[in-house]
Amino acid sequence: MSIAAIESVLQQMRVTALQTGIAPRAAEAAAPQGGFAAELRRSLDGISAAQNSANAQAEAFELGKPGVALNDVMVDLQKAGVAFQTGLQVRNRLVAAYQEVMNLPA
């Protein structure tokens, strides 16, 4: 897996985060710190936040709280699911890249 492919995956994760309504904080967006590991951590935190938010909204709907519509709950759950699947695919590609590097002849 090349650097360009990793950058492409990171860009896809950023787009997914923006679509799910999880925008990076202004300070983090202005001055990225820590490189790839920090970006991966921020993406995972965003996925976790999307899942927690969707689950909280689903619970509010189940409890019958006013102002929580079923269609909003379903859309948020789907967004969280797509974000999770994207994170899972990134993990799979990173593991495959690691295995490929480890199998290189010395």
Q: Which residues, 6+ apart, have CB-to-CB distance to 100 below 8 Å?
A: 1
Element spanning 54, H or E? helix 35-62
pTM value surpassing 0.95: no
| 73-101: pLDDT as tens digits | 999 999 999 999 999 999 999 999 999 99
C-alpha distances out from residue 88 to 18, 81, 84, 92, Å: 18, 10, 6, 6
User: Residue 27 pLDDT > 50, yes or no?
Assistant: no
